[in-house]
Structure 1
Amino acid sequence: MWLWIPFTIFAAFMQSWRNAFQKQLSQDVNTTGVTLARFIYAGPLAALYVLALYAWQPVAMPHLSGLFWVYIVLASVAQIFATSLMVMLFRLRNYAIGVGLAKSEAVMAAILGALFFGAPLSALAWMGVFIGGLAIWLMSNPGSFRDISLSTVVTGLGSGLCFALTVLWVREASLLLELPFPYSAAWVLVAVITTQTIILISWLLMKDKQTLVALWKRPKLTLTISLFSCLGSLGWFTAMSLQTAAMVKTLGQIEVLFTLMISVVWFREKLKPKDKIGLALIVIGAIFVMLA
């Protein structure tokens, strides 16, 4: 019943490191290339995970319906846009605040889930949504409260919206398979990563082959990003096969704390007091939604 919790915490920890390595790669490779680095080696790793599951305990093969592939393509495209916008955030504000803004995905998932996916919110949950929105507004203001960075707000909220749509569609695809735990999540993982890799490589082959060359020249960093991305997605997809997207993503806000520690210790970045308050408010909002 509570198995989704350790998978969510594991996913948040892996994703915080993946974001850190993506920030490092973004100094030398453009946005599309950094986005592709997340997927390019992850497909074979995900396929090995599926093979390992079936070697351990064989179950029925899934029926991949047309609706399943609709959800997969929608989730794949949404996650590509979400990742690209997050990479843009790295260049707009500092690392921790960029990721903090993108963490609006938890709020978005709660709202969209209530409106379109049959997951209504209680008063306590809406309070959490309000606190999360306040945190995002606070963190998006680089100077005084009258000097709000509109580009950072729009990019951060756009990234959060795309990530929220990704997790909602991933959960719907996972439920369609009707396979035992954790096989449905494993198949969705392979399908999403493969679709994303095909889309991005095809685009770069037509428009920007030099980006592929740039990734080829940085094999260790690219493989590291793909590895942490695959592990993070494995955790997210498995948790969402057990629990609603809003619940998983609200608990997943713990990633903000991991990100803050990486930002301060590794990147030597300093946070303003109101930035720390904003990060704290995001966590408080997540707890409220979680308790609801």
Structure 2
Amino acid sequence: MLWIPFTLLAAFMQAWRNAFQKQLSKDVSVAGVTLARFIFASPLAAFYLWALYAWRPAAMPEFSGTFAGFIIGASLAQILATALMVKLFQLKNYAIGAGLAKSEAVLAAMLGVLFFAESLTLWGWFGVFLGGCAVFLLSGARLQQLSFQVLLLGLGSGLAFALTSLWVRQASLTLGLPFPHGAAWVLLLVILLQTLVLTLWLALKDREVLLALWRHRKLTLAVSVCSCVGSVGWFTAMSLESVALVKTLGQVEVLFMLLISAFIFKEKLKQTDHLGLALIVIAAVIVIWA
């Protein structure tokens, strides 16, 4: 049951990361805010891996072509998912798109069963779908508001996030290392590749963004730290339990985000927020029990 505290840690840290990203986005472009998740995270991930080996020595991994494929796929899929969310933001449909992107848990369940030899009980499926409905409700989306473009972008983002999580889990299992060393190796390599790709892209296309991140380095560091600790939680939990259950329980992130919005940013909750939060709690209890 260790996947449960690791998932809760991930959700809590991701909520704070989003709060810091919200502040950073006032002065930095979306591409820069995305890079802020990774740019200072690599040294932290490397230190975490070193600390694990110092605490409990284990064999060094033997990398294969299959493992490399999972790492590359997960890294690029997460960047693609973020890019699709940016497009939704530009269309001023971010809230609706965010709700659709949270179809990640449902899509991960379907893809996991079809292509990754994962299985869910009937109660597990119920919890996954209930959690998806809850987050969609919290997004404020309405079916009549959904154009084909918004639907395609939102579901595309959810699909890319789902593939990211599934490939991360497969990469961890492929290494065959003891818990939690495999997840730590995957975390470090994914973050390194994403940092390299995004930094090179911005260096070629928009160097001013890199300068803006340096000017706001304290806030950028806060984003990276929260993102790295959150990723430790996600990657470790997904090495222990199916992606669908981890991501469904991880939707308590929305609860943390709304609490931060209410108490830190002084934003009021809507009536539908209370219903959505109740459904998320019920879904979380169901997947833990399942």
Q: TM-score, normalised by structure 2?
A: 0.88
For residues 69-108 of structure 1, what are the alpha-carbon distances to aligned partners after superposition, in whole Å with 9 as ceiling and x for unaligned?
110011111122333445666774688x876554332222
- For residue 141 of structure 1, report the CA deviation from its aligned partner: 4.6
Do the aligned residues in 2 keep the contact of 1:13 with 1:258 (CA within 8 Å)?
yes
Do the aligned residues in 2 keep the contact of 1:140 with 1:152 (CA within 8 Å)?
no
- For residue 291 of structure 1, report the CA deviation from its aligned partner: 3.5
> 2:129 & 2:2 partners in 1: Cα distance?
28
Paired residue total: 288
For residues 120-144 of structure 1, what are the alpha-carbon distances to aligned partners after superposition, in whole Å with 9 as ceiling and x for unaligned?
33433333344344335544555xx
- The residue correspondences of 1:105-124 to structure 2 (distance < 5 A) are 105-124=104-123
> 1:239 & 1:137 partners in 2: Cα distance?
24
CA RMSD of aligned residues (A): 2.5
> 1:28 & 1:237 partners in 2: Cα distance?
30
For residues 2-33 of structure 1, what are the alpha-carbon distances to aligned partners after superposition, in whole Å with 9 as ceiling and x for unaligned?
11211111111111101111121112211111
SS at match of 1:81: helix
- The residue correspondences of 1:181-196 to structure 2 (distance < 5 A) are 181-196=179-194
Equivalence for 1:39: 38
> 1:104 & 1:146 partners in 2: Cα distance?
15
> 1:270 & 1:101 partners in 2: Cα distance?
23
Equivalence for 1:238: 236
Equivalence for 1:148: 145
SS at match of 1:241: helix
Summarize the Cα distance change of 1:253–1:138 in structure 2 as closer, same or farther, 3 Å threshold.
closer
> 2:89 & 2:273 partners in 1: Cα distance?
15
For residues 129-181 of structure 1, what are the alpha-carbon distances to aligned partners after superposition, in whole Å with 9 as ceiling and x for unaligned?
44344335544555xx5642546655544333222211110000000111111
Matched, 1:6 2:5: yes
Equivalence for 2:80: 81
> 2:10 & 2:87 partners in 1: Cα distance?
22
- For residue 264 of structure 1, report the CA deviation from its aligned partner: 1.3
Do the aligned residues in 1 keep the contact of 2:131 with 2:248 (CA within 8 Å)?
no
> 2:117 & 2:136 partners in 1: Cα distance?
28
Equivalence for 1:249: 247
Equivalence for 1:212: 210
SS at match of 2:250: helix
Do the aligned residues in 2 keep the contact of 1:35 with 1:84 (CA within 8 Å)?
no
Q: TM-score, normalised by structure 1?
A: 0.88
Equivalent AA in structure 2 for residue 271 of structure 1? L
Q: What is the percentage of aligned positions where both structures have the same residue?
A: 61
Equivalent AA in structure 2 for residue 72 of structure 1? I
Summarize the Cα distance change of 1:166–1:288 in structure 2 as closer, same or farther, 3 Å threshold.
same
Equivalence for 1:161: 159
Equivalent AA in structure 1 for residue 228 of structure 2? C
- For residue 218 of structure 1, report the CA deviation from its aligned partner: 0.7
- For residue 48 of structure 1, report the CA deviation from its aligned partner: 1.0
Deviates more, 1:77-86 or 1:47-56: 77-86
Equivalent AA in structure 2 for residue 53 of structure 1? L
Summarize the Cα distance change of 1:181–1:134 in structure 2 as closer, same or farther, 3 Å threshold.
closer
- The residue correspondences of 1:18-33 to structure 2 (distance < 5 A) are 18-33=17-32
> 1:256 & 1:28 partners in 2: Cα distance?
24
For residues 218-273 of structure 1, what are the alpha-carbon distances to aligned partners after superposition, in whole Å with 9 as ceiling and x for unaligned?
10011110000000001111111222212211221221211110121122222321
> 2:88 & 2:285 partners in 1: Cα distance?
25
Do the aligned residues in 2 keep the contact of 1:31 with 1:84 (CA within 8 Å)?
no
Equivalent AA in structure 1 for residue 279 of structure 2? L
